Amino acid sequence: MKLIDVHCHLDGGHYGDIDGLLKRVREAQVEKIIAVGFDLPSSEYCAELSKKYDFVYFTAGFHPTELKNYREGDLEKIAELAQDKKCVAIGEIGLDYHYEDTDKPLQAEVFLKQIKLANELKLPVQIHSRDCAEDMLAVLKENTIESGFLLHCYSHSTEIAKELEKLGAYFSFGGTSTYSGSKKAKRTIAALAGSRLLTETDSPYLPPKSKYGTFPNTPESIGEILANMADIRGVDAESMANDVWANAHTLFKKL
């Protein structure tokens, strides 16, 4: 069975021995992982990691809550990174209204600039979207992302998901979808077309049910997340894994 983690964070020193971690990830049948940048230094780190490990790919971009570190000229550096053969997307980018001091105009400005960059480079995007469902839907209706887009760790309603699906969205789900209380995520996983579903861990965050309360979460959790999605959809895990693998390679063409 080929498993894939389309969204994880391997920077920050959370894991100790990164070589040991990635050896265990391969032993857990995770054949490919996408290490996701959230600002310039993390994007550069992910690029370097991808050079060392053949099964590690990466994204480059600015997360909406990390814009305190954003400087003029940074997007040009992101563009340089994104031309690497192993950079599969611009990301993670988007909107996040969770915090009271959110600078919504700045988030929207940088989000749109990065969508434009992705279109120029003919790359898909990985989108972070929290507490902003209506605004996110409006942005994506008004701005075509030409090479496709992923809503990572999808948390909005099933109704919004169906609207986004009409725009060509893909959706990835992580450890929180394995909890019995995650009824909204389970409804959405059941409602979407199988051709739009992907698996992620968002490591080191969001451990699945069997690892509740532990830190760091790791890409080794993908098997549990995949099995849960298969159970929700009433299919066998092998079939679900094959679909997810195909979906990932359809969206992220540089994998």
Q: What is the pLDDT of residue 188?
A: 98
As a whole number, mean pLDDT of residues 92-121 equals: 97
pLDDT at site 45: 97
Question: What are the structure tokens assigned to 107, written together?
Answer: 């988030």
pLDDT for 123:
98
Whether residue 82 is predicted with pLDDT greater than 90 in this model: the reply is yes
Peptide bond into 92 cis (omega under 30): yes
25 pLDDT above the threshold of 90 = yes
Q: Decide: 164 and 138 in contact? Cβ < 8 Å.
A: no
- Residue 69: is its pLDDT beyond 90? no
The mean pLDDT of the chain is 97
What per-residue string of b and e applies to 134-171 under the rule 16 or more CB within 10 Å gives b? ebbbebbeeeebebbbbbbbbbbebebbeebbeebbbb
Q: For residues 173 and 18, what is the distance between their CA atoms, to the nearest angstrom?
A: 24
- pLDDT digit string, tens, across residues 110-144: 999 999 999 999 999 999 999 999 999 999 999 99
Tell me, what DSSP letter sits at residue 255? -
Render pLDDT for 193-241 as a digit per residue (tens, 0 to 9).
999 999 999 999 999 999 999 999 999 999 999 999 999 999 999 999 9
Residue in 251, 189, 187, 255 with CA at minimum distance from that of residue 2: 255
* d(C-alpha 50, C-alpha 47), whole Å: 5
| pLDDT value at 12 more than 90 | no
Distance set, CA 104 to CA 9, 10, 111, 135, 193 (Å): 25, 28, 10, 10, 32
